[in-house]
Amino acid sequence: MLNVRVLGVPPNDNALLLVADGGKSRTRMLFDCGADTLAGISHGEVQAIAHLFLTHLHMDHVSGFDAFFRVNFQRSNMENHIWGPTGTARILHHRFQGFWWSHAAELCGTWFVHDVDATTVHDYRFEAGEAFAVMHDAGMRSHDGTILETAEVRVEAIPLVHHGLCLGYAVREPDRQTIDAGALAALGLKPGAWIAELKNPDNSSIVIDGQVCDAGDLRQQLVRIEKGESFAYLTDFLADEEQRQRIAPRLAGVDTLYAEAQYAVEDDALARKYHHSTIDQIAELARLAKVGRYMLLHLSRRYSPDQWVKMCECARAIFPNSGFIDEWELG
């Protein structure tokens, strides 16, 4: 299950907090870290965030980093990972060193920062015990779009254009195998440890109540495949025709697209100047990619709440399943 929570309020900075619950394990991820985006979540929740994904390093997407870092700078009970476009490690190195580290020798936190481009990930390591003084080169590796896989999800990086490289992210759960309860009852079987063995495709036979059974036959009768949940987070990027054609295939099968709603249609020239998108362009991207729904984020204070509602109506005219998150109550 993917529990996604939008942090921040319009027209302030926004971020996404993900709790990916795989049943047996759980991973928390944060997407962007603008000013005050962490104000609405508890100290413990911030401590539990294992991965911070930055779309880019403009102030409104990273200015809340100190609040995150203050809570976790010496965290050693879990790994600390930050992901972002090329140059992220260099910029965060300055952030790490922007404080006095009077007792650095007593600290034991290790931080990994991953610079991501279209085809490679360059890993760097920073040590709290060294007062974060050294940016250790931890190597480079290629990627095919997927930059991280955990037990619960796969995270894909989508290169975007925003005065250089910006990253969008698509997060997908693996498909789930469930047991058809009605079929189970019809066969007169009771749930047990054998079900885990049944779900393993390598098992050709399993033992149920002392009886050897054909696993393949039982799988056909009992196992159902449930599509995993998914979402994408795209913000601060050009979405002209050329870019939409390039990006849309990367969003295939996505349930929810969380994307910027920065500019009204009439402000197209301004949007292009600052490498942003107009509301109709994002809605057209959602339509082209056939996502499940488009949730409008990153609203601009250049517009009034009434204008935000009109922008949403514009999006719905192109892609009907567009809207704001319920908590915003904007219409």
Q: Which two structure tokens, joined as six digits, stand for 225?
A: 């495949």
Q: Which two structure tokens, joined as six digits, stand for 190?
A: 């009771």
Q: How far is it, in rounded angstroms, from Cα 149 to Cα 157?
A: 12
Q: Do 213 and 238 form a contact (C-beta atoms < 8 A)? A: no
**154-161 and 165-172 as β-strands: parallel, antiparallel, unpaired?**
antiparallel
Q: Which two structure tokens, joined as six digits, stand for 318?
A: 């192109």
245 Cα distance to chain centroid: 22
Instruction: Indicate the SS3 state at residue 26.
Output: strand
- Which of 246, 273, 236 is CA-nearest to residue 15? 236
Q: How far is it, in rounded angstroms, from Cα 319 to Cα 137?
A: 45
Q: How far is it, in rounded angstroms, from Cα 58 to Cα 124?
A: 21
Selected catalytic residue, list 13, 60, 115, 267 = 60
Q: Which two structure tokens, joined as six digits, stand for 177?
A: 């195998």
Q: Do 86 and 114 form a contact (C-beta atoms < 8 A)? A: no
Q: Which two structure tokens, joined as six digits, stand for 113?
A: 């920062």
Helix residue ranges, H only, the chain: 43-47, 59-62, 65-72, 88-96, 181-186, 194-199, 215-222, 241-247, 268-273, 279-289, 305-318
Active site residue 60: yes
Q: How far is it, in rounded angstroms, from Cα 88 to Cα 115?
A: 6
Q: Classify 278 in phi/psi space as left (phi over 0), alpha (psi -120 to 50) or beta.
A: beta
Active site residues: 60
